[in-house]
């Protein structure tokens, strides 16, 4: 950020915050492969929607790329073997979500060739949009930005809705994360193929790649390689958290708002993460399944941070050993970014399709006492930070008074997407985001 940036303003949304980015740790680290972990743990519920159903038995040998679980219905995706090996068990495993979930334990053959032998060449040009949707589901593709919503569902606009614009999300607004940045630089061919597929499947007229202006090299690179005959553009948007939230990015790029209670499709928009589309462009022509993803491993407690192509199912313990975890300094290990990611209780938790980053934060200075909670002093910082213009101060008071229904009915609680801006800025250290999470879940239970 120089003086020049004062005059060159990129498009943005209202409010938001500017946390320290820490991207310099990994932004120039090209995506590398790591050795296979001795055992991979593949949870069956790695996406929103119904968990996959195992197709394999204990003791069965599988080849890298082979389907090992099938989708259970439309809002579900299959799983593929991330490595050649043998199924050791189908049992419970801890995940970041807390309660244990069913998973396939795959013992990796050390000596085996780890080449993917499951190919099904496809001609993208002759595929209909229905075929693309089906192929994307077969690939087991989900939103790789962290939401893990089955991608093929978003490619099929709801009945009566017309998709005009595909928004490609290259913002990567979470501190520390740089995997999308690297993907835009290193996998632009696959990304462009993916965008073309998304345009065709949705019937949209144009695609806009939105990239935060701390990655102007990615914007320049994409502009240089984007085919001139296609309606795809790359736009810089202001570096501000949570620019990568789809509602915020839509506002920044299109000056439109997704209606309360609605979906982007209601205003003719479909949003995909760049990582998702790059995988789509890579896997679909070859008929392969998603078996690995790019993960940023970073944070102050990591000796050699970087961007890595990690097989799905790699336990965090193995991954962190490869990068050198400062075990005496580590305080929290977070899946995703530090603003919205989840801290794990165990390093046995595996990397899933939703994991864009593994961030190891340092133990805090116990003398710092930064987390002492004061009463709300109505400083209004949270109102100025909330990207959807809620009144977190008021919502926080109502939460303490247990008026959860009033929070939803009068103060738009359900518009909160838990970005964490309010809790980040709160000088009283009130855990506002956590209050809202609890209030929403109580309301859900009550209405169920």
Partner 1 sequence: MPKPIEIRTSPHLKRAISVDRIMRNVVFALLPICAFAVFQFGLSALLLILTTTGAAIATEWFFARASGQGNTVSDWSVVITGILLALTLPPGFPLWMAAVAAFVGVALGKALFGGLGYNVMNPALVGRAFVQAAFPVAITTWTPAFAPGRFTEVIPSTFTLPFMQPTPVKDWIMGLQLDAWTGATPLALQKFQQIEPPVTEVFTGMIAGSAGETSALLILICGLWLAFKRMLDWRIPVAVMAGAALTALPFWLMDSSVYPSPWFVLFSGGLMLGAWFMASDMVASPVTTSGVILYGLFIGIVTVVIRLFGGLVEGVMYAILLANAAGPLISSWTQPRVYGAIKKTREVE
CB closer to partner 1, 131 vs 348: 348
| Secondary structure E strands in 238-276 | 269-273
Based on its alpha-carbon atoms, the radius of gyration of the chain, rounded to whole angstroms, reads: 22
In the bound complex, what is the minimum distance in angstroms from residue 88's beta carbon to partner 1? 22
Structure tokens at 186: 């290193």
For helices 392-400 and 432-447, give the axis angle rounded to 10 degrees. 60
CA distances from 273 to 95, 244, 268 (A): 23, 9, 17
In the bound complex, what is the minimum distance in angstroms from residue 277's beta carbon to partner 1? 25
Q: Which helix (H) or strand (E) holds 166?
A: strand 165-170
In the bound complex, what is the minimum distance in angstroms from residue 394's beta carbon to partner 1? 7
CB closer to partner 1, 11 vs 221: 11
Report the SS3 class of residue 309: strand
In the bound complex, what is the minimum distance in angstroms from residue 386's beta carbon to partner 1? 8
Q: Which of 25, 23, 387, 340 is nearest to 213 (CA)?
A: 23
Structure tokens at 433: 């985001």
In the bound complex, what is the minimum distance in angstroms from residue 150's beta carbon to partner 1? 23
In the bound complex, what is the minimum distance in angstroms from residue 375's beta carbon to partner 1? 3
Q: Which of 402, 399, 301, 400 is nearest to 358 (CA)?
A: 301
CB closer to partner 1, 275 vs 357: 357
Q: Which of 40, 72, 37, 39 is nearest to 54 (CA)?
A: 72
Strand order in the sheet with 79-80: 53-54, 67-70, 79-80
Task: Encode 406-433: b = buried (16+ Cβ within 10 Å), e = exposed.
Answer: ebbeebbbbebebbbbbbbbbebebbbb
CB closer to partner 1, 128 vs 429: 429
CB closer to partner 1, 169 vs 393: 393
Report the SS3 class of residue 11: strand
In the bound complex, what is the minimum distance in angstroms from residue 240's beta carbon to partner 1? 14
CB closer to partner 1, 60 vs 346: 346
Q: Which of 360, 421, 372, 370 is nearest to 393 (CA)?
A: 421
Report the SS3 class of residue 375: coil
State the Cα–Cα distance between residues 289 and 33, nearest whole angstrom.
18
State the Cα–Cα distance between residues 80 and 140, nearest whole angstrom.
8
In the bound complex, what is the minimum distance in angstroms from residue 331's beta carbon to partner 1? 5
CB closer to partner 1, 278 vs 376: 376
CB closer to partner 1, 60 vs 434: 434
CB closer to partner 1, 135 vs 333: 333
Calculate ∠ Cα 169-170-175, nearest 5°: 115
Q: Which helix (H) or strand (E) holds 105?
A: strand 98-108
In the bound complex, what is the minimum distance in angstroms from residue 405's beta carbon to partner 1? 15
Dihedral (CA of 276, 278, 284, 289) sign: negative
CB closer to partner 1, 135 vs 339: 339
In the bound complex, what is the minimum distance in angstroms from residue 23's beta carbon to partner 1? 14
In the bound complex, what is the minimum distance in angstroms from residue 381's beta carbon to partner 1? 8
CB closer to partner 1, 64 vs 247: 247
Contacts of 381 (CB under 8 A, 6+ apart): 425, 426, 427
């Amino acid at each position: 950020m120089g003086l020049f940036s004062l005059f060159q303003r990129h498009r943005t949304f209202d409010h938001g915050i500017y946390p320290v980015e820490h991207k310099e740790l990994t932004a120039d680290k090209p995506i590398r492969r790591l050795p296979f972990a001795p055992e991979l743990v593949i949870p069956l519920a790695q996406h929103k929607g119904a968990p996959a159903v195992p197709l394999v038995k204990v003791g069965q040998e599988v080849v890298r790329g082979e389907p090992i679980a099938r989708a259970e219905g439309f809002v579900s995706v299959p799983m593929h073997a991330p490595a050649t090996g043998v199924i050791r068990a189908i049992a419970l495993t801890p995940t970041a979500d807390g309660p244990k979930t069913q998973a396939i334990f795959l013992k990796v053959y050390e000596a085996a060739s780890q080449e993917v032998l499951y190919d099904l060449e496809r001609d993208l040009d002759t595929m209909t949009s229905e075929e693309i949707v089906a192929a994307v589901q077969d690939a087991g593709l989900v939103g790789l930005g962290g939401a893990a919503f089955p991608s093929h569902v978003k490619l099929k606009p709801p009945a009566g809705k017309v998709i005009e614009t595909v928004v490609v999300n290259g913002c990567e607004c979470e501190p520390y994360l740089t995997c999308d940045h690297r993907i835009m630089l290193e996998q632009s061919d696959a990304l462009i193929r993916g965008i073309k597929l998304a345009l065709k499947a949705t019937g949209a007229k144009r695609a806009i790649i939105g990239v935060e202006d701390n990655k102007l090299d990615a914007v320049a690179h994409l502009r240089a390689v984007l085919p001139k005959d296609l309606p795809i553009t790359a736009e810089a948007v202001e570096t501000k958290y949570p620019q990568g939230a789809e509602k915020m990015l839509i506002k920044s790029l299109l000056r439109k708002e997704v209606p309360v209670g609605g979906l982007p499709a209601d205003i003719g928009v479909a949003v995909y993460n760049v990582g998702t589309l790059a995988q789509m462009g890579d896997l679909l022509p070859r008929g392969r399944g998603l078996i690995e993803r790019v993960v940023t491993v970073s944070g102050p407690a990591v000796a050699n941070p970087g961007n890595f192509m990690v097989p799905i199912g790699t336990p965090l313990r193995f991954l962190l050993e490869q990068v050198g975890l400062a075990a005496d300094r580590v305080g929290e290990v977070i899946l995703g970014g530090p603003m919205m990611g989840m801290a794990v209780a165990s390093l046995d938790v595996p990397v899933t399709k939703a994991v864009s980053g593994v961030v190891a934060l340092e133990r805090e200075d116990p003398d710092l006492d930064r987390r002492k909670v004061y009463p709300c002093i109505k400083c209004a910082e949270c109102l100025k930070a909330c990207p959807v213009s809620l009144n977190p101060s008021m919502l926080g008071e109502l939460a303490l008074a247990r008026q959860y229904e009033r929070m939803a009915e009068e103060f738009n609680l359900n518009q909160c997407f838990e970005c964490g801006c309010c809790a980040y800025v709160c000088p009283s250290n009130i855990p506002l985001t956590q209050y809202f999470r609890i209030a929403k879940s109580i309301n859900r239970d009550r209405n169920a």
